[in-house]
Amino acid sequence: MASLEPEVLVVTDEGHRAHRSASAHAERPERADAVAAALRRASFASRLRFVSPGRATSAEVERIHARTYVQELATVCARGGGWLDADTYATPSSLDVAMVAVGAALRAARAVVDGEARTAFAATRPPGHHAERDRAMGFCLLDQIAIAADDLIVTGRASRVFVFDFDVHHGNGTQNAFWERGDVFYASMHQSPCYPGTGARHEIGRGDGEGTTLNVPLAPGTGPEEWLAALDELVVPAIEDFRPDVLLFSAGFDAHRADPLAQCELESATFYEITRRACEAARPTTKGRAASVLEGGYDLTALGE
């Protein structure tokens, strides 16, 4: 087994800058650049190892997304790009950028299971958790976290994966990917009402997946104490009961009080506490194996913090 030092593998790729809207847009290259810059100057930078991802294969992506959708996205990009919905754009390079972002999520998730690192962070873009099997939405083209979770199961690296999504917007795409599966638990804490309008408490999965979806909708204005209390009451017991082999985070930071796209009131330090408590709950079975994939977060200073 490879050494577990340094403690955190950071997967980044400067090619993400080719995915940029021609007009002003919240989901912009400066987001990932702010994260990478903050990590490189952090007091703990010596504990980080930066690596570049490979490009995901079509076979890996098409376990979650319909082939026809990926082909349609390729056609849009080949024609110069355009708007895929009211919020989501594509450039000529966007499919390539999204495939590399998926590759980053795969690299991070595999690394923590294969023993290359104890924890890993895929600091890439665009985000992914809104992307459905057959359509883009909510700034998202391909659902990186869903593809990574599925990959761990398909490749035999894990038999039970817990995905914890703390982005302020509900991850409808990830929820739907595992709606009828019992091997991946999807838990989301998010603002409600808020885009995309899904993620009610009664949404718990179906068939083999009944009981392996947990939604914790929180009102606009929710602050750190309420958020952490709900985490302790609902998400921590779910992690403990599910006994996952690995913990994956859909790490969106737009519940921060400074974020322009929602109305929650979390502080930068709250996200540390969310992650710490979830990792501790999972530790008896994960042995600390956890990987994070960047989702939202649109105030650059807050995102860097």
Q: Where are the beta strands (DSSP E) in the chain?
A: 8-11, 48-51, 82-83, 89-90, 119-122, 161-165, 184-191, 213-218, 246-251, 290-294
3 state SS of 17: helix
Residue from 130, 170, 190, 256 carrying the catalytic annotation: 130
Is the Cβ–Cβ distance between 121 and 8 less than 8 Å? Answer: yes
Residue with tokens 């999504």: 165
Could you tell me which of 269, 127, 98, 99 has the C-alpha nearest to residue 195? 127
Helix, strand or coil for residue 70? Answer: helix
130 has catalytic annotation: yes
Parallel, antiparallel, or unpaired: how do β-strands 82-83 and 89-90 relate? antiparallel
User: Which are the catalytic amino acids?
Assistant: 130
